[in-house]
């Protein structure tokens, strides 16, 4: 044992592409101080690669709409958003309307849910 300063970092793999997974497993399989996690084992870090991102790009949102969307996700009201952005409530409602239209949502709660689902914003 002696001085075990590197108690082996355990890595888990979450990779969709089998080829890439094999490749990485082969590369990382024989490195000192590093080990791949067994089934169900707690890992210190996880290597993820979810590429079949059936995401037709992020929807075309303007910068201002993204600002409003981010504050909406924080639970801010139109009045709060207006104050934070230095614009009038009417303008906020205008942008919210565009957001609801583009995100195909029925309300602000639905809007942030949809946006989070398709990765436009991060919760």
Partner DNA sequence: TGTGAAACTGGCCGGGTGGTCAGGACAGGG
Partner DNA sequence: CCCTGTCCTGACCACCCGGCCAGTTTCACA
Residues that bind a copy of itself (CB under 8 A): 6, 9, 11, 15, 20, 23-24, 27, 31, 33-34, 44-49, 72-75, 77, 105-113, 116-117, 123
Tokens 């504050």 belong to which residue?
A: 71
Least separation in angstroms between residue 121's CB and DNA is 16
User: Among 25, 47, 94, 116, which residue interacts with DNA (rule: CB under 7 A)?
Assistant: 94
CA 123 from centre of chain: 7
The entry of a copy of itself, DNA, none near residue 74 (CB within 5 to 8 angstroms by kind) is: a copy of itself
Q: What is the dihedral of CA 93, 97, 100, 103, to 10 degrees?
A: -110
Interactions with DNA, residue window 41-60 (CB under 7 A): 60
Stretch of residues binding DNA (CB under 7 A), selected from 12-20, 21-29, 35-43, 73-81: 73-81
Beta strands in 1-123 (DSSP E): 9-15, 34-36, 45-49
Q: How far apart are CA 75 and CA 35, in angstroms?
A: 42
DSSP 8-state assignment for residue 106: S
The entry of DNA, a copy of itself, none near residue 69 (CB within 5 to 8 angstroms by kind) is: none
Q: What is the dihedral of CA 83, 85, 86, 91, to 10 degrees?
A: -90
The contact set with DNA (CB under 7 A) reads: 60, 62-65, 77-79, 82, 85, 87-91, 93-97, 100, 106-109
């Amino acid at each position: 044992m002696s001085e075990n300063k590197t108690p082996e970092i355990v890595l888990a793999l979450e990779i969709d592409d089998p080829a890439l997974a094999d490749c990485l497993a082969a590369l990382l399989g024989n490195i000192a101080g590093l080990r791949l996690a067994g089934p169900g084992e707690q890992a210190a870090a996880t290597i993820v690669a979810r590429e079949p991102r059936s995401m037709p790009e992020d929807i075309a949102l303007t910068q201002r709409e993204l600002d409003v969307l981010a504050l909406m996700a924080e639970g801010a009201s139109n009045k709060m958003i207006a104050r934070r952005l230095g614009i009038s409530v009417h303008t906020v409602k205008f942008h919210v309307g565009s957001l609801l239209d583009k995100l195909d949502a029925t309300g602000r709660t639905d809007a942030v849910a949809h946006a989070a689902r398709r990765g436009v914003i991060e919760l």
